[in-house]
Amino acid sequence: MIIILLGAPGSGKGTQAKMLSSKFNIPHISTGDIFRRNIKENTLLGKKAKMYIDKGQLVPDEVTCEIVDDRINMDDCRNGFILDGFPRTIFQANELENMLQKLQLEINYVLNIVVTNQSVITRISGRRMCNCGQIYHIDRNPTKIDGICDVCGEATYIRDDDQPKTIKTRLQAYHQATKPLEDYYLKKGLLINIDGEPAPKEVFNEVVTVI
């Protein structure tokens, strides 16, 4: 099963993707996570991506498509995967078609997580990350001990690109480059809109009901 998650930054794509990944036992592929890991490890890819990400801009299509192509060609992707944060442009969506054609695979669902701009801003500004992959929110999903991850005990942190100024640029990029994908997948009969405003578990229930 191949599932694509669409939605604004902070719409909860990553959270839903993780839950889907464990329910269906297929890999969760987040281009944002791949970039962040590479930035942390200071790889060549990390260096290329960092200057765009820190400004809230999209990483160039060729760079992004290459990492996705590599990833979906790995053995663990044979039974499907969840794409979170890719495609984000029409160019990327067309490239994905080519990649999947070579693999003789097809997209099953495109889930569009719908939230208001205001929710995006509230969510992102309260978001806290942990290196183990857990994501928290200072009001909606706080850690038991302030600033310490419940799962692994490490200190949580704010993503570099979650600063207010950068959030604005990311939202602009979303509206300009990514929004047109809704129409793109609607025309292919793949788009399903999901109300992303309720709590993560409720959103997940809706997701599971529609697929």
Which residues are annotated as catalytic?
Answer: 13, 88, 127, 159, 170
Least gap, CB of 132 to Zn ion (angstroms): 3
Binder of ligand ADP out of 21, 38, 92, 112 (CB under 6 A): 92
Q: Is residue 50 involved in binding ligand ADP (CB under 6 A)?
A: no
- Which among ligand ADP, Zn ion, none contacts residue 151 (Cβ within 5 to 8 A by kind)? Zn ion
Instruction: Name residues whose C-beta falls within 8 Å of residue 54's C-beta, 6 or more positions apart in sequence.
Output: 160, 161, 166
- Are residues 123 and 10 in contact, defined by beta-carbon separation less than 8 angstroms? yes
Pick 86 or 109: Cβ nearer ligand ADP: 86
Radius of gyration of the chain (CA): 16
Torsion of CA 18, 24, 30, 36, to 10 degrees: 50
- Judged by CB under 6 A, the chain residues 131 through 160 that form the site for ligand ADP are none
CB atoms within 10 A of CB 67: 18
| Residue of 3, 39, 59, 111 interacting with ligand ADP (CB under 6 A) | 59
- Which residues is 31 bridged to in the sheet? none
128-187 residues near Zn ion, rule: CB under 5 A = 130, 132, 134, 149, 151-152, 154
Measured between its terminal Cα atoms, the distance across the chain in Å is: 10
The residue type at 82 = I
| Site membership for ligand ADP, residue 12 (CB under 6 A) | no
Where on the chain is the footprint of ligand ADP (CB under 6 A)? 9-10, 13, 31-32, 35, 52-53, 56-59, 64, 85-86, 88, 92, 161, 170
